[in-house]
């Protein structure tokens, strides 16, 4: 397999740019290479996901079908943060079905969908413990959201988590039905 470094920009993406790859989150394009595979020349984005110690090679022709996209803009970040401070919307379906839906939202790469998962699975200290699988999904969604916010705002992932948690704390009381919330406040 012969490798030749070639261009620095393809289909609006360039070397050094941070992007979102749905299945892995925020990564950085480290190179755009041309490789020969089975007699065919392929142009590939080389994407590095440092936190996961992962390097991905994605054919330039497949980026649209793979869902690769540029980082969110400031308005989308603001909308995502407003989303996490909203009221949780938890369907009354079996956990296994909801878990699949949450997983699909996380892997969609869509920041607003990911922020909905963070909002719906967030638990404050005064709420009942989460199950292991709920906690895993919450942490995966929080991590994806924090990484994108940190890349856009040029802050650390830890600072992004603190920012998200600030917005989560602004949300309505969680875990209680609206009529129960009044009784809790009076107690």
pLDDT tens string 163-185 = 999 999 998 865 444 433 333 34
- The count of other CB atoms within 10 Å of the CB of residue 63 is 19
3-state secondary structure of 120: helix
Q: Which CATH class is domain 74-176?
A: mainly alpha
pTM: 0.84
* Residue ranges per structural domain of the chain: 3-70, 74-176
| CA pair distance 140, 109, nearest whole angstrom | 12
pLDDT band at 129 (very low <50, low <70, confident <90, very high): confident
CATH of 3-70, one of 3.40.640.10, 3.20.20.140, 2.40.10.170, 3.20.20.480: 2.40.10.170
DSSP letter, residue 174: -
- Quick one: average pLDDT of 15-29? 95
pLDDT score of 52: 84
């Amino acid at each position: 397999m012969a490798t030749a470094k070639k261009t620095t920009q393809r289909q609006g993406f360039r070397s050094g740019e941070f992007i979102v790859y749905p299945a892995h989150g925020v990564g950085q394009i480290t190179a755009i290479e041309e490789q020969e595979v089975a007699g065919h020349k392929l142009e590939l984005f080389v994407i590095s996901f440092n936190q996961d110690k992962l390097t991905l090679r994605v054919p330039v022709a497949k980026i649209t079908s793979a869902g690769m996209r540029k980082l969110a803009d400031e308005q989308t970040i603001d909308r995502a943060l407003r989303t996490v401070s909203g009221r949780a919307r938890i369907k009354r379906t079996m956990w296994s079905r909801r878990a699949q839906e949450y997983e699909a939202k996380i892997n969609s790469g869509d920041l607003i969908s990911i922020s909905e998962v963070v909002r719906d699975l967030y638990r404050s200290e005064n709420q009942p413990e989460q199950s292991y699988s709920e906690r895993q999904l919450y942490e995966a969604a929080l991590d994806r959201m924090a990484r994108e916010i940190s890349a856009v705002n040029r802050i650390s992932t830890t600072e992004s988590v603190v920012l998200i948690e600030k917005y989560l704390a602004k949300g309505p009381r969680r875990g209680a039905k609206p009529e129960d919330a009044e009784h809790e406040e009076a107690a």
